[in-house]
Amino acid sequence: MMTPGGPLKTPPARRLPASPVGAQLGVSARSEIPAFEVMQITDEVARRRAAGHDIVSLCAGEPSARPAPGTFQPAGYTGPLGTTPLREAIAGHYRSWYGIDVDPGTVAVTTGSSGAFQLVFLAAFDPGDRVALASPGYPAYRNILTALGVQVVEIPTGPETRYQPTPELLAAAVAAHGPLAGLVLASPANPTGTMLGRAALTGLVDWCVAHSVRIISDEIYHGITFPEAGEPDPRGVTLRELDPEAVVINSFSKYWGMTGWRLGWAILPQALVAPVEALASNFALSPPAPAQELALTAFTPESYAERDAIVSGFARARTLILDAAPQLEWGAAAPSDGAFYYYSELGPQLERFGDSSSYARALLERGDVAVVPGTDFDPVAGNRAVRLSYAAGESAVAEALERILKFQG
């Protein structure tokens, strides 16, 4: 073919930069967030196991997997907020566990609670808004908010408030940083396992309502709780009951042991339903259909009984750790009310090992036990603490404790 300027020239080949592509094309500042250390250690455990090491891992917060009944047919997209039967079944779960009515139209089914955090943070907060969260805390809250340009206000917590925020701590945060748009709560929390009772939650809700702060309540560990006999809220208190403007987030990952199915949900205040639906329909199109099919089987009496038996196993593993605590000669530990975590200062061990990362590394290399240093959860004081997950079960925990005591000599 001829062109006015003569024969068409072959365009010069596009030159690839010698340096990494990101250096030329740019990587967003909002993606400059740390990786999740737990997942890196899990990778290292897999490598060591493949190399023939017999590692006991108390790292991952993951119960043993729930088997899938039968085989699934290929499935298409569903509605962006999930199938109607599943949204209704989730609403029914609130009736059976907490005795409250939830409109299925306010339930958004998501790709794990992780998917819910992304959608809800986007829908509720603008870049530059301030959102408070407890430290130590689950690192993805901080990292997702940071990636979205939201300003994270860390509330340092310790044993005096059971590692949970209080109205006084929130007031101090506002005095230091300015007004808050949101507060992320987790009860039971990761990494500490501590819970907020009804009175403490009501105090926080009253403060947040008075200061126009939206609460995002992560209830993923509800049901994995170790209540005293007669406890009035044995599964945990859902914020849905106390604050109609709160967003409640939950998941099939922990109580139901369905981590790999990637399914969670949010209960939304009415004003957030349409924005979350719009975001979900662009970001994920729909939550995974086969996982939604399976999740319909989660709310039967048989399923609750099966999962409660598994929680009893966690309770036995927890008792082993609590009983062994004096022998471990570590420092102060958070009360492990729920989830399957034991978070403890290392105390005298720090004199020997320096910090919790060095302790964890030496324990993995010389003692064949994997634990997580607290640095993932608390960038300031986490270098003094470790988190043990007893989701691995009673016999793994017994073996790990024996090895830890031998390692510490």
Ligand X SMILES: Cc1ncc(COP(=O)(O)O)c(C=O)c1O
CB of 220 to ligand X, least distance (A): 4
Q: Which residue has the tokens 């609130």?
A: 94
Residue number with the shortest CB distance to ligand X? 112
Q: Compare residues 298 and 328 and give the one whose CB is closer to ligand X.
A: 298
Q: In Å, how far from its chain's centre is CA 134?
A: 13
Which one, 112 or 136, has the nearer CB to ligand X?
112
Q: How far is the CB of 61 from ligand X (least distance, A)?
A: 4
Distance CA 84, CA 105 (A): 9
Q: Please, which residue, 328 or 334, has the CB nearer to ligand X?
A: 334
- φ, ψ at 387 (rounded to 5°): -115, 130
Closer to ligand X by CB, 165 or 367: give it: 165
Q: CA-CA distance, 232 to 359, in Å (whole number)?
A: 40
User: Please, which residue, 251 or 286, has the CB nearer to ligand X?
Assistant: 251
Residue type, 345: E
Q: Considering beta carbons, is residue 249 or 346 the nearer one to ligand X? A: 249
CA–CA gap between residue 287 and residue 110 (Å, rounded): 5
Decide if 341 contacts 321 (C-beta within 8 A). Answer: no
* 223 Cβ contact partners less than 8 Å away, ≥ 6 residues apart: 97, 235, 236, 254, 255, 307, 308, 311
* Minimum distance, C-beta of residue 11 to ligand X, in the bound complex (Å): 46
Q: How far is the CB of 190 from ligand X (least distance, A)?
A: 4
Q: Which is nearer to ligand X, 207 or 256 (CB)?
A: 256
Cis peptide before 167 (omega within 30 of 0): no
133 Cβ neighbours under 8 A, 6+ residues apart: 141, 142, 145, 152, 153, 154, 155, 165, 183, 184
Closer of 61 and 79 to ligand X (Cβ)? 61
Smallest distance from ligand X to CB 241, Å: 20
d(CA 185, CA 196): 9
Residue ranges that bind ligand X, judged by CB under 6 A = 61, 112-114, 138, 186, 190, 218, 220, 251, 253, 259, 264
Q: Do residues 238 and 222 make contact, with C-beta atoms less than 8 angstroms apart? A: yes
Q: Do residues 149 and 128 make contact, with C-beta atoms less than 8 angstroms apart? A: yes
